[in-house]
């Protein structure tokens, strides 16, 4: 018998006579050492050239299936789509204590899932008011539970759990003992509803019927470490393999979700309501930041007790410095991109790698002193807004700078 085993270096074929099943944990030789891995496929033929001599599985750690076939299928997809090792993906799915030999005797009997591989029902709730979204979720949860199915609610951040305080919460920041307790309870079928952040998408539900992804547009669903999966997309693929429904809730859908709505792949369950927007395009004179029309409108809004947001898509004071004598621009020696000038500290910084240096007063290329600040940054706009000449428009209202680095 031949088995394909997923380890942290990839997936490899081994020969064995041990009573293994998909999802069992084994020890296999790899180069001059041994590694722990998971059986992901079994076959009677190796489907390899006859000249290749296969090594044998050294040890069967657990006769019980540590990971069930539905999650093996999901791990394979994640590994293929995000260019990762399937063994590493499975390690990411399991609490650390579950991967120990001593805990395997506590594992409940594995369930054999039917891999349906059908287009899932993906419903999009496009609603700005989070209270309305959560009311919709709660009705969907009650309906799913009444049908005898389980529910997973994914949230981007831990603070979002407050809307389901009485529901167990799973996050990577939990102690491993708490992760193990919740994981085993799900494997036994003791829990019906769980709320969690992105890693909860891999939890071993016995009969999942609904996945809710709150604020599906949030950047927090993207895993920054290896494997670099996106929990929203993994949830949709899990729904495809298990033939269940997904609800994507958002106040402002991601471009991917919006495109899938337009293509008819996702269904919009409500009619989003928006206030009519009025956009004015104004041509500014040279070196002008605030047009007279913008000043008047800001003043009118503030007088009525309103608030104003000035969106500037650049941190710092200026996008880059240029020598007007020779045209030389200062660039990051690592990345090759223009260095952003920060007036505070008179520093040049690279927003990609973090490189920084003191801004020069003379051009390092031609020794000229005619250096110009190009483009507008938040610091420059805020400095101009606070200038005494604009007090007549802004009065004594406070001005706040908000950037990602603050």
Task: Identify whether the C-beta of residue 248 lies closer than 8 Å to the C-beta of residue 123.
Answer: yes
Could you tell me if residue 113 is inside a domain? no
First to last CA, the chain: 59
Same domain for 133 and 264: yes
Note down pLDDT in tens along the chain; length 406 residues: 999 999 999 999 999 999 999 999 999 999 999 999 999 999 988 877 776 889 999 999 988 899 999 999 999 999 999 999 999 999 999 998 887 766 767 788 889 999 998 999 999 999 989 999 999 999 999 999 999 999 999 999 998 888 898 999 999 999 999 999 999 999 999 999 999 999 999 999 999 999 999 999 999 999 999 999 999 999 999 999 999 999 999 999 999 999 999 999 999 999 887 766 678 888 877 667 778 888 888 888 878 888 888 888 778 888 888 898 998 888 899 888 889 988 888 899 998 888 999 999 899 999 998 988 888 888 888 777 766 455 555 555 555 555 555 4
- Scan for tokens 């490899």, then name that residue: 12
Q: Look at residue 406 in the predicted model and tell me its pLDDT.
A: 44
Q: Look at residue 254 in the predicted model and tell me its pLDDT.
A: 96
Same domain for 298 and 256: no
Same domain for 227 and 99: no
- E strand or H helix at 302, and its extent? helix 292-303
Q: Look at residues 268, 302, 326 and tell me which one is the last residue of a structural domain.
A: 268
Overall residue count recorded for the chain in this entry: 406
Could you tell me if residue 313 is inside a domain? yes
The CA distance from 169 to 167, in Å, is 6
Q: Look at residue 295 in the predicted model and tell me its pLDDT.
A: 81
Q: Look at residue 24 in the predicted model and tell me its pLDDT.
A: 93
User: Considering the entire predicted model, what is its pTM?
Assistant: 0.75
Task: Identify whether the C-beta of residue 237 lies closer than 8 Å to the C-beta of residue 80.
Answer: no
Residue 17's domain spans which residues? 2-106
Task: Tell me how many domains the chain contains.
Answer: 3
Q: What is the pLDDT of residues 111-160, one digit of tens each?
A: 999 999 899 999 999 998 999 999 999 999 999 999 999 999 999 999 88
- Give the pair of three-digit tokens for residue 390: 């604009």
Q: Look at residue 395 in the predicted model and tell me its pLDDT.
A: 55
Taking CB atoms within 8 Å and a gap of at least 24, the contacts of 86-89 are 86/6, 86/10, 86/11, 86/40, 87/5, 87/6, 87/7, 87/8, 87/9, 87/10, 87/11, 87/35, 87/37, 87/38, 88/8, 88/226, 88/227, 89/6, 89/227, 89/229
13 DSSP β-pair partners: 4
Q: Look at residues 76, 106, 136 and tell me which one is the last residue of a structural domain.
A: 106
């Amino acid at each position: 018998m031949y088995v394909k085993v997923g380890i942290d270096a990839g997936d490899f074929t081994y020969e064995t006579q041990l009573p293994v099943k998909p999802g069992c944990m084994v020890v296999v030789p790899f180069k001059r050492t041994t590694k722990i891995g998971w059986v992901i496929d079994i076959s009677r033929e190796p489907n390899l050239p006859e000249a290749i001599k296969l090594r044998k599985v050294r040890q069967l750690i657990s006769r019980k299936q540590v990971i069930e076939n539905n999650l093996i299928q999901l791990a394979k997809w994640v590994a293929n789509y995000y260019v990762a090792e399937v063994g590493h993906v499975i390690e990411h799915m399991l609490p650390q204590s579950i991967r120990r030999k001593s805990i395997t005797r506590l594992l409940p009997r594995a369930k054999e899932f039917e891999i349906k591989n059908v287009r899932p029902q993906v419903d999009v709730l496009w609603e700005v008011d989070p209270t309305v979204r959560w009311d919709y979720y709660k009705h969907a949860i009650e309906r799913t539970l009444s049908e005898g199915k389980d529910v997973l609610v994914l949230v981007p951040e831990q603070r979002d759990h407050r809307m389901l305080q009485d529901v167990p919460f799973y996050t990577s920041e939990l102690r491993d003992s708490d992760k193990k307790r919740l994981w085993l309870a799900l494997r036994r079928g003791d829990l019906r509803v769980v709320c969690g952040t992105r890693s909860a998408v891999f939890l071993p539900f016995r009969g999942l019927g609904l996945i809710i992804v709150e604020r599906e547009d949030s950047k927090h669903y993207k895993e920054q470490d290896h494997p670099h999966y996106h929990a929203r997309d993994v949830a949709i693929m899990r729904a495809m393999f298990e033939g269940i429904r997904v609800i994507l809730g958002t106040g402002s859908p991601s471009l991917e979700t919006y495109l899938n709505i337009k293509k008819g792949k996702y269904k919009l369950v409500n009619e989003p309501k928006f206030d009519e927007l009025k956009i004015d395009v104004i041509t500014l004179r040279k070196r002008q930041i605030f047009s007279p029309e913008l000043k008047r409108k800001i003043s009118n809004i503030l007088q009525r007790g309103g608030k104003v947001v000035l969106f500037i898509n650049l941190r710092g004071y200026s996008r880059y410095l240029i020598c007007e004598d020779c045209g030389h621009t200062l660039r990051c020696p690592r990345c090759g991109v223009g260095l952003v000038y920060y007036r505070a500290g008179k520093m040049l910084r690279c927003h990609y790698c973090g490189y920084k240096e003191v801004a020069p007063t003379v051009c390092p290329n031609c020794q000229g002193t005619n250096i110009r600040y190009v483009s507008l940054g938040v610091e420059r706009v805020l400095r101009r807004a606070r200038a005494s000449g604009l007090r007549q428009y802004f009065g004594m209202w406070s001005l706040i700078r908000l950037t990602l680095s603050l």
